[in-house]
Structures are given as structure tokens and as C-alpha cells.
Amino acid sequence: MQMYVTIRSGSLAIAASTLDSLLDLMAGGILWFTHLSMKNINIYQYPIGKLRVQPVGIVIFAAVMATLGFQVLLEAIAQLIKNEPSAKMTSQQLIWLYAIMLTATAVKLVLWIYCRSSKSKIVHAYAKDHYFDVVTNVVGLVAAVLGDKYYWWIDPVGAVILALYTITNWTGTVLENAVSLVRQSAPPEFLQKLTYLVIWHHSQIKRIDTVRAYTFGVLYFVEVDIELPEDLPLKEAHAIGESLQIKIEKLPEVERAFVHLDFECDHKPEHTVLMKLPSS
């Protein structure tokens, strides 16, 4: 329907909104594929699951949207430079324009409300796209009507506004989800929560050497180093470490937890990133 009204109206702002809607098909395919990929797990190929497929799918989706915005921006600027007014729309064309764009906006509004109620982060990304469609449809319609009735340049200017909104909005989404894949540290509040949980887990825990939590997809990986008495039997030490791991992994923010047991805290860290950096 939007393709039809784009061809009939010749509006660049409407075209920007229509191209975004056409990409929803691609976006839906990406989100559907990542959802199925997360559900179908081969424990031999993916021993710890495939939750990282979620942010990867969102990054691909958002990158496509940002690229679309850049293409529309170039086309709108080119039309402004040419300084050639487009033909006026007939009353019949305006009726089709109002009917189709308002119907598409209403449908997208319902879909936005529906997807926003989901608990899945990847469906929330789709809800964000539906909200974006509502905005682009309204702005595109207003720009097309004002450009037809008053000044022709309002239409390409509306397309420029939509393009800049697209680029800004989805570039931020790309950066946000890309950061989650490079093991960024959890906020101090969550680290404090972990430290409190660890120190009160068992009376045999003498000190906490290290508490780390970092993103590795949607959820956190947690590393904890604790000091136990040197003469504590292995069976008891193992039970303390295992029960602590289970307790940490029950937190909704945590995907996996690793608990390291030691008898002192004066040694250097077992793992260092600097040793693995490639030489320049």
C-alpha cells in the first residue's frame, strides 16, 4: 500500500517512510532467524548456548537501518541541490495518501504496543522499529502534504529530517549492542551486589580476592576468587565453591559464573590481558 502511494505521490519523504517499511521484511527475517538459532542448540558445537546471537542480530538489523537513512539523506540533498519542484498531487492522490499512510500508522502503533510487552530484548528492538515507523509515517505525511500545498522543498527537508533521525537512532543501537559483545564491565552497583552475596555465602570464606562481571552478550559472565582456610578438606572447599557458583548463576543478570578457590590472596592475578595483546 505504501509502495503504491509512493509511486502515485512522488514524495521523497513518503519514499523514505516506505523504504523503511520494506526493510521490516528483512528485519523480521533476521529476528526470526536469531530466535530459532537460540532455541536450536547443539551442546557439542555450542557448549554454553547461543545467547550472543541476540545482540549480533540486533547489530545487523540496526546497521541496515542506519545505512538506509544515509542513502535517503543523499537523495534528499541531491533533490534540494537540483531545485526542481515536483508536480502537484490531485485530490484523488491526496485521498489515497491520507488513507494509506494513516492506516499504516495505526497498524504500526498496535504492533509497537504488542511487541513492547514482550520480555525478549530482541523483540524490544523490533518494537523500537515499529515506534520509528509511526514517527516516520507521521513526519512523511506532514512533509508531503505541506510540500504539495505550500513549498516544494518541505518534502525533501522532511526526508532529510527522517534520514538524520534514522542514522542517529540506529547508530546508537549498534554501539550499545556492539559494546555488549566486547566484555564491558558491569556497573559498580552490580559488582557491589555480587561482593555482598559472596562474602555472606559461607562462614569459611576468609577474604575475597577478585570479583569481576562483564558483558558477553545479553547477560554477564562473573568471575570470583575467594580465600578459604589452607587446611580445609577438598570436599568441603568444593562444596562451598559449587554452591556459590549455583547461587550466582541464579541471578537473572548472570549467564555463567566461575568460582576460583585459593588459600591466600597475595599472589599476582592469574589472568592478564596485556600478555595476549598482539605486538605492533
Mean pLDDT by 10 residues, the chain (280 residues): 76 73 70 72 64 72 77 82 75 80 87 82 75 82 82 84 79 76 84 93 90 84 91 93 94 90 76 55
Closest CA to 14 of 78, 91, 106, 104: 104
Say if residue 200 is in the same domain as residue 125: no
Which of 115, 144, 179 is the last residue before a domain boundary? Answer: 179
Q: Side-chain half-sphere of 37: how many Cα atoms within 13 Å?
A: 17
Say if residue 103 is in the same domain as residue 236: no
Please give the C-alpha separations between residue 226 and each of 51, 193, 245, 262, in angstroms, as whole numbers: 28, 16, 12, 6
Say if residue 141 is in the same domain as residue 214: no
Task: State the amino acid at position 127 in one-letter form.
Answer: A
- Rounded to a whole number of angstroms, the distance between the first and last alpha carbons of the chain is 55
Say if residue 8 is in the same domain as residue 27: yes
Say if residue 207 is in the same domain as residue 168: no
Its domain, for residue 61, covers 2-179
Say if residue 174 is in the same domain as residue 206: no
What pTM value is reported for the model? 0.61
The cell for 58 is: 540486533
Say if residue 61 is in the same domain as residue 173: yes
Quote the number of domains for the chain. 2
Say if residue 22 is in the same domain as residue 42: yes
The cell for 107 is: 497498524
Say if residue 216 is in the same domain as residue 175: no
Say if residue 145 is in the same domain as residue 223: no
Say if residue 27 is in the same domain as residue 122: yes
Q: Could you tell me if 115 and 126 are in contact, meaning their C-beta atoms sit under 8 angstroms apart? A: yes
Which of 179, 209, 241 is the last residue before a domain boundary? Answer: 179
Which CATH number does the domain housing residue 48 bear? 1.20.1510
Say if residue 197 is in the same domain as residue 145: no
Which CATH number does the domain housing residue 258 bear? 3.30.70.1350
Which of 140, 155, 179 is the last residue before a domain boundary? Answer: 179
